[in-house]
Amino acid sequence: FKTHDDRLVVFRIRDYLQRFNRSADILCIPNTDVDQVQAGLFKLLELDKRFLPGKLGTSIYIRPFIIATDPFVGVRCSNTFKLFIILSPSGTYYAEGFNPVGIRVEDKYVRAVPGGIGEAKTPANYAASLRAQIEAKHDGYSQVLWLDGVERKYIEEVGTSNIFFKINDELITPALNGSILGGITRRTVLELARAWGMKVSERQISIDEVFAAHENGTLQEAFASGTAAVISPVGELSWKNKKLIINNNKTGPTAQKFFDEIAGIQYGTLPDSHGWVNTVTKL
């Protein structure tokens, strides 16, 4: 990110690199040295800093890859790997405003199952989501809300993001269960919420509970959290031919507060009292 005082900074970079290693563990790939990768990344950012967009809301998206390189045809763990990092200048995610999205609850397809690789950051999990995503977009929805792969009733995550509900002044998000990717933005939201004194629960939550909360008037807000969008307000949920409108399809104050705080820290307009930001270089 480019800060208001012309610094190039990264956000929670060690947490992202440690999650990278956790995903590697799940896929039988050796861990990388976090200090070494961070040092190499900082050199790459210094080299390519001229490509960092200057407008507020823009950034450089950092994507590390590790791939097997054994010259072998067959199914087994590789003995050799290649690590590389791609930097992509990214435009403003909310170019047309911070508006709520409509989401379809998916009860036909599943993204991941217990005992699988759902908690890993790997292309296989994105591939598993594509058919449902295409069908949802065809029906006019921005994203898919995934349910568990066994009973098809417990909420897991939304698209490529984690999901939060504010019900009766309690912030609820599904507990990490092995089939949900633990987002760094999710962790940030939870840490901020607890620091602000909010009532927070990481637990199993069913889609029936969410619709019941809407019926009895206690469902106040819903939003997703992720690296690219930071916070995405949810204004509509569709499930089994039923639709519910959340907070009159308007961005709620809780989602707005989290977005303003996290984006403010990332772009340097708010103080970083948590030590989440590292300065790479002056611009």
Same domain? For 63 and 186 the reply is no
Give the total number of structural domains in the chain.
2
- Asked if 218 and 112 sit in the same domain, the reply is yes
Same domain assignment for residues 105 and 219 = yes
* 276 and 183 fall within a common domain: no
- Domain assignment present for residue 2? The answer is no
Domain region containing 71: 7-91+272-282
Domain membership flag for residue 96: no
Residues 70 and 109 in one domain: no
Rg of the chain (C-alpha set): 20
Asked whether the beta carbons of 136 and 104 are under 8 A apart, the reply is yes
| pLDDT tens by residue, 269-282 | 999 999 999 999 99
Name every residue whose Cβ is closer than 8 Å to that of residue 199 and which is 6 or more positions away in sequence.
Answer: 169, 170, 171
The per-residue pLDDT of the chain, averaged, comes to 96
- Return the SS3 of 111: coil
Q: Which residue has the tokens 């809780």?
A: 254
The residue-averaged pLDDT of 240-245 equals: 94
Task: Give how far the C-alpha of residue 140 lies from the chain's centroid of Cα atoms, to the nearest Å.
Answer: 22
Is 94's pLDDT higher than 70?
Answer: no
Q: Are residues 111 and 197 in the same domain?
A: yes
Q: What is the CATH number of the domain that holds 145?
A: 3.20.10.10
Indicate whether 168 and 43 sit together in one domain. no
**What single DSSP character describes residue 71?**
-
- What's the mean pLDDT in 218-236? 96
Residues 47 and 186 in one domain: no
Q: Can you give the pLDDT at residue 159?
A: 87
- Looking at the structure, tell me whether residues 136 and 229 fall in a common domain: yes
pLDDT band at 96, cuts 50/70/90? low
171-191 b/e (C-beta count within 10 Å ≥ 16 → b): bbbbebeebbbebbbbbbbbe
Mean per-residue pLDDT, 202-222: 98
Does residue 199 fall inside a structural domain?
yes
Q: Is residue 1 part of a domain?
A: no
pLDDT at 168: 98
Provide the CATH number for the domain around residue 69: 3.30.470.10
- If asked whether residues 141 and 79 sit together in one domain, one would say no
